[in-house]
Amino acid sequence: MTVRVPLDYYRVLMLSPRADEHQIEQAYRERLDPKPGERSWLLGFSPQAVEARAQLIQEAASVLLNPEARQNYDEHLTPADPTLTVEEPLLPGVLCLYCEVGEYQAALDLAQQMLEQGHPARSDAILARAIARLELGREAWQQGSYEEAARSLQAGLAELEEYQAFPQLQAELRLDLGKLRPYRILQLLSLETSAPAQIGKEALADPVLARQQGLALLKAMLDERGGIEGSGQDGSGLSTEDFLRFIQRVRRHLTLQEQQELFEREAERPSLVAAYLAVQVLLAAGYLEKRPALVRRARGYLARLAQRQDVHLEQAICSLLLGQTEEALDHLRSSQETEALQFIEEHSAGSPDHLPGLCRFTERWFQEEVFPEFRGLETAQATLQAYFDNPQVQAYLDEMPSRESSPAGTLSPPSFHPAPHLPAMVGGPRLTEQTQESPRPPAPFPRGGTAPPPEPPRMSDLPAYRRGEGPAKPPFEEGIPHAHEWGSQEVERYRRSRLGSRRGRGERPAIPLGIGLAGVVGVGILSLLVIWQMLRRLFTPPAPPLEQPQVQLEQPPVAIDAPGQPEPTPEPELTGPLAEWRGVRQVRVIANEGINIRQQPSLTGAIVGAAPRQALLRVVEVQAGEGQVPVWLRVEREGAPGGWVAAQSGSTRLVERL
């Protein structure tokens, strides 16, 4: 039985119809005895298929090397639609030739026909179909039709898995699918949802569903890697540094809502990079949509990042948006972002504080560095004036004192009460009552002399690949150094790569003047108390036990009676929560997010530092509190400022005694 197939003798020998006798002889020898590298792909076919291929090559050479036979063949050849009549047992050889000369669609069709007709060369037909799927997928990949490429590769893999055949070819298909996935994600997420979309030659019925598929692929990729900083194998071939570049590129195709859902999910792995990205998302949404509750949530993420990272500038912006101007200025004094501080200082000229410059910097930061990272917000406009004039914002800030007493372990640490007025210089020369009382110009920020870090390498365009080849190297890796360590550094790399204008790093600034003066005043008050205690012991009789050992500075601890014979003063008996901390000398921090160290034993006291989880603190004084914090401990640390910490928040302990 004979079968007509779309093939001709010139394509069998991979020659043009103008080939001479010498070229035909050379092609014949090379085709019968291919080089080792060209022969390897034939090993999967059966010996019968390889023999049938050789027979067809010999037949083609015998016709074309005979002048009369060639002339007769050429006269009957139809170049537009050439066909060749072959015996049915030679069909496996035709499959080999189709795969060899690049006629992959013809191989796919013939193999399908053979399987449907129950041809005995079933294994050769399965192999030919898989090879055709692989190569057609690579051709679509080269043409930029990534979804078409994925469907071809997935179909080939599914067939081989169904037949449980050719595991090496299955691995090759999986490898290509893994390397193709970043391209698919970028293409799907870049689709416009307002009009019918087209990918390559194919029109999409629902671009919204296509974008959802892109998001699903991205989440699956993150899960397989174990997060943005993860080292799991996702098949993409992207290193950790490469993947961070990829995430930067993906961000611009994601909306504000999509990024919020994605990065808050990733931050819970936990992930420092995702936490920082979540901060940007929450700040952008809170500022643009007039939702200070999102700003407060961003402050919680920054509290975690601050334990390993200089994010004081972002914390200052958070505090500003929450109306907490003093806290914002405190964060500015601790920041090492020299160029940003210089900008703020320059735009605060003539003002008693740095709030005007901070407001100008905040508006510029959102406009130039944050909004462009979101799909649809490239030209978004927002001002602090409009933000603070919003009634919902004002109402939320008015209620902030009652919201600040959050339980221990939550993302939002205790903070200051909001300022009663809009910060100075928001849209005009408007000062708060507090700043009007201080006509002195603001002190310059302390700076160091560290050289700015180098700019990160730019990502090149997606490369195209030659026919029949997979990707030579994964995308986004050109010029990217190897990452030897991955901790808080990647957050700094990301911030530097996105915040190019903030590259100066200096020494940590000295303790602000206000805190130093407060310390001097505190030492003076303590000296007076010591002298007062000495006088009390010398000239007073024993005093009745106190219910609480709390000293009020407005009045003496005890009344001074007439001089008499002094007697020992009994130790006051501690009751209530204070009794649990009697005689404590050292405590360990057990709060998940660490605890703040404050200048005074009050939730409204200025924050002078923070102690992370498991930190050891030496206790020098115990004092009763009220409300959410019943007990305060005055602590000291080596090499760091001391102050007051809350022993517990409600019924939840923040520290444990040792």
CATH number, domain with residue 602: 2.30.30.40
* DSSP-derived 3-state class of residue 599: coil
Is 113 exposed, middle or buried, given 0-12, 13-18 or 19+ CB atoms closer than 10 A?
Answer: middle
- Which two tokens mark 357? 């410059």
Same domain, 132 and 173: yes
For 97, counting Cβ atoms within 10 Å of its Cβ (0-12 exposed, 13-18 middle, 19+ buried), the class is: buried
Q: Residue 604 — φ and ψ, nearest 5°?
A: -95, 0
372 and 293 belong to one structural domain: yes
| 274/365 Cα distance (integer angstroms) | 19
In this structure, the answer to whether residues 345 and 403 fall within a common structural domain is yes
The answer to whether the beta carbons of residues 217 and 188 sit under 8 Å apart is yes
Q: Can you list the alpha helix ranges (DSSP code H) found in 485-549? A: 489-498, 513-539
Are residues 626 and 547 part of one domain? Answer: no
Strand partners, 640: 637
Residue type, 371: F
Name the DSSP letter for residue 505: B
Residue type, 386: A
pLDDT of residue 54: 95
* Number of structural domains the chain divides into: 4
| Pair (405, 520) in one structural domain | no
For 622, the token pair is: 């115990």
Identify whether 457 is part of a domain: no
- Residues 503-557 pLDDT 10s: 333 333 333 334 344 444 444 444 444 444 544 444 444 433 333 333 333 333 3
Whether 643 contacts 608, CB under 8 Å: yes
- 346-359 pLDDT, tens per residue? 999 988 999 999 99
Radius of gyration of the chain (CA): 37
Confirm if 587 and 635 have CB atoms less than 8 A apart: yes
Q: Do 315 and 392 lie in a common domain?
A: yes
Domain stops at, among 141, 162, 189: 189
Same domain, 546 and 644: no
- Answer yes or no: do 7 and 120 share one domain: yes
- The answer to whether residues 301 and 377 belong to one domain is yes
Residue ranges in the chain whose pLDDT is less than 70? 36-41, 194-205, 401-577
Question: Is the distance from CB of 273 to CB of 251 less than 8 angstroms?
Answer: no
What are the DSSP E strand ranges found in 388-500? Answer: none
Range of the domain at 312: 254-412+444-450
Give the residue carrying structure tokens 């997060």.
227
> How far apart (Å, rounded) are the C-alpha atoms in residues 273 and 489?
9
Domain-embedded: residue 202: no
3-state secondary structure of 592: coil
pLDDT of residue 407: 36
Beta bridge partners of 617: 587
Residue 466 covered by a domain: no
Last residue of one domain, picked from the residues 434, 450, 466:
450
Same domain, 588 and 567: no
Closest listed residue to residue 217, CA positions, set 172, 243, 186, 249: 186
Residues 7 and 86 in one domain: yes
pLDDT at 420 (0 to 100): 32
Spatial separation of the C-alpha atoms in residues 398 and 130, rounded to whole Å: 67
DSSP result, 534-568: HHHHHH-PPPPPPSS----TTS-SS---------P
From CA 284, how far away is CA 259, in angstroms rounded? 11
How many Å apart are CA 289 and CA 278, to the nearest integer?
A: 16
| Cα within 13 Å of Cα(581), Cβ side | 27
Q: Does residue 372 share a domain with residue 291? A: yes
Return the DSSP state at 352. S
Residues 6+ apart with CB under 8 A from 184: 146, 147, 150, 214, 217
Name the 3-class secondary structure at 202: strand
Rounded Cα gap, residues 168 and 165, in angstroms: 9
Place of tokens 């992207």: 238
**Neighbouring C-alpha atoms within 13 Å toward the C-beta of 150:** 20
Q: Domain ends where: 450, 473, 499?
A: 450
Could you tell me if residue 474 is inside a domain? no
The reply to whether 600 falls in a domain is yes
